[in-house]
Amino acid sequence: MRGAMNRVLILDFGSQYTQLIGRRVRDLGAFSEILPGETALGAATLEGVRGILLSGSPFSVYDEDAPRPDPGIWDLDLPILGLCYGAQRMTEDLGGKVRRLPEREYGRKAVDLAAGDDPLLAGLPASISTWMSHGDSIAEAAPGFSVLGRSEGGIPAVLRREGRRQWGIQFHPEVSHCEGGRELLSNFIVGICGMEREWSMEGYRSQIEAELRNRVGDSEVLLLISGGVDSTVAGALLLSALPHERVHLLYIDTGLMRKDESVEVMQSLRSLGATHLGMADAGQEFLSALAGKSDPEEKRRIIGDLFIRVQEREVQRLGIPGAFLVQGTLYTDLIESGKGVGKKAQVIKSHHNVRSPLVEAKRAAGRVLEPLDRLYKDEVRALGRLLGVSPAILSRHPFPGPGLGVRILGEVTREACDLLRDADAVYLEELRARGLYDRIWQAFAVLLPLRSVGVAGDERRYGRVLALRAVVSEDGMTAEPFAFDMKDLLGISAAITNKVPGIGRVAYDISSKPPATIEWE
């Protein structure tokens, strides 16, 4: 759902830093929207836009298939800031020269500024230590540009088109270790685009609720809840925006969820007024489909396919064919599935929400709503707090779609699910009690397909082996094991073996990602 709220447009040419630019703009209290770099900049697209940022790119302006912005961009009466490739594109398009560097420049580089009274550089020192990552550089500014900053060897690093509000900079102010980067972006967003603190979650909530009411009219809406934070917050938003009798919430329980997870989500939504709140208990179906299977990718496929089949069946059963289908898709999901960004951006992974036939059919009929599709994960949590979703749900660590199915190594049985659920719950309870849960990005237990000997009284007893995982990470792409105090690990292990008799031995996984992954399968 896209509306014409006041915002800064970020044209993405495939830079690894584009997401970071979006975050920085929002940190300044301004709303940002990322669009593919080649998007036509017609009146409808530009409605509400107060300024445009052009991202970097893995391309050179001289590559044959180098992405280009709408040629009309340079005639717009809007503030424009080109970053790295954005600055080179601006230079090349307007008659300057860009040249290939003999070798790629990466890392810290000093830039000397001759700011005068330029509003982009207000308050910055005469020399800053910037962050650069580029293979080309600007050799000659385009006619009508003045050079306001140079890096070593006199290379233009900050340019301004005279008489216009158009700037290009060769470095990356969005990267946290770029000195003066935050000030420079603030000068642009707040000072030049005039966007100061226009955006707040309260304001966004009212706007998105009004948009939902408009789109939905008198129709019914249906949300499939997976138990995760995103779909739960989407449910709370629907209940806040629309008459409860038109909001249908359907929870599909795969039997592969964490302990009490399904119950907590159902309770939270009920407490927010849900009346049509159904639970499809598909646990037995999932277990039957997984019987005898131990290959991780095969298990993933079975779980994913069955989830879609159960979804379709349960939606049919509800008998509301014309309903809008609501999805808890986030901004990053769109970006990761390659939908929200420039066609040149690397597609990292496809999100299963986007691919199911049910969703595709609804989408083709214009009946899919994605009210969280402009939010980042931490913003969804903030929205959830405003909407009254229980803090225990909002603070939960990420959980993979296939759930315990990929945390039980080997065959997934009911006994294994129950045992792992119990052991995992004790582990997480201990982390909370010790004040560690919120310091860890993701923690969980893994049930290994091993039995190991132990003693109980005078007898030898064989119990299962449990591995504990706890990692710190920014985004799950890389991760480090959490550095527990040994006394915490000992306490956690004792709690698990005391409370869960089926577990005979506990091990802690001390691997980083890479080379290991966060999950074991």
- The residues binding ligand XMP (CB under 6 A) are 300, 398, 400-402, 442, 476, 513, 517-519
Q: Provide the minimum distance between the beta carbon of 337 and ligand XMP in the complex, in angstroms, as a whole number.
A: 12
Q: Is 177 one of the annotated active-site residues of the chain?
A: no
Nearer CB in complex with ligand XMP: 33/336: 336
Is the sign of the CA dihedral 69, 73, 78, 82 positive or negative?
Answer: positive
Nearer CB in complex with ligand XMP: 5/440: 440
Is 514:476 a contact under the CB 8 Å cutoff?
no
Please, where are the H alpha helices in 196-351? 201-216, 229-241, 261-271, 283-290, 296-318, 331-336
Q: Is 174 one of the annotated active-site residues of the chain?
A: yes
Nearer CB in complex with ligand XMP: 338/401: 401
Nearer CB in complex with ligand XMP: 374/469: 469
Integer Cα distance of 353 and 332 in angstroms: 13
Q: What is the CA radius of gyration of the chain?
A: 26
Query: Residue 497 to residues 441, 491, 493: CA-CA distances in angstroms?
Result: 24, 10, 6
Phi, psi angle pair for 95, to nearest 5°: 100, 10
Assign residue 157 a region (left: φ > 0; alpha: ψ between -120 and 50; beta: otherwise): alpha
Q: Provide the minimum distance between the beta carbon of 186 and ligand XMP in the complex, in angstroms, as a whole number.
A: 33
Q: Provide the minimum distance between the beta carbon of 390 and ligand XMP in the complex, in angstroms, as a whole number.
A: 21
Contacts of 215 (CB under 8 A, 6+ apart): 1, 324, 369
Q: Provide the minimum distance between the beta carbon of 353 and ligand XMP in the complex, in angstroms, as a whole number.
A: 10
Q: Which residue has the tokens 């709408």?
A: 70
Nearer CB in complex with ligand XMP: 226/268: 226
Q: Provide the minimum distance between the beta carbon of 181 and ligand XMP in the complex, in angstroms, as a whole number.
A: 29
Catalytic residue among 174, 179, 336, 370: 174
Helix (H) or strand (E) holding 431: helix 414-433
3-state secondary structure of 69: coil
Q: Provide the minimum distance between the beta carbon of 442 and ligand XMP in the complex, in angstroms, as a whole number.
A: 5
Integer Cα distance of 493 and 311 in angstroms: 39
Nearer CB in complex with ligand XMP: 160/259: 259
Is 237:212 a contact under the CB 8 Å cutoff?
yes
Q: Is 183 one of the annotated active-site residues of the chain?
A: no
Integer Cα distance of 379 and 349 in angstroms: 22
Q: Provide the minimum distance between the beta carbon of 416 and ligand XMP in the complex, in angstroms, as a whole number.
A: 18
Nearer CB in complex with ligand XMP: 142/406: 406
Counting runs of H as helices and runs of E as strands, what totals does the chain give?
16, 18
Integer Cα distance of 241 and 206 in angstroms: 9
Catalytic residue among 33, 105, 172, 370: 172
Q: Which two tokens stand for residue 16?
A: 């690894």
Query: Which residues are known catalytic residues?
Result: 84, 172, 174
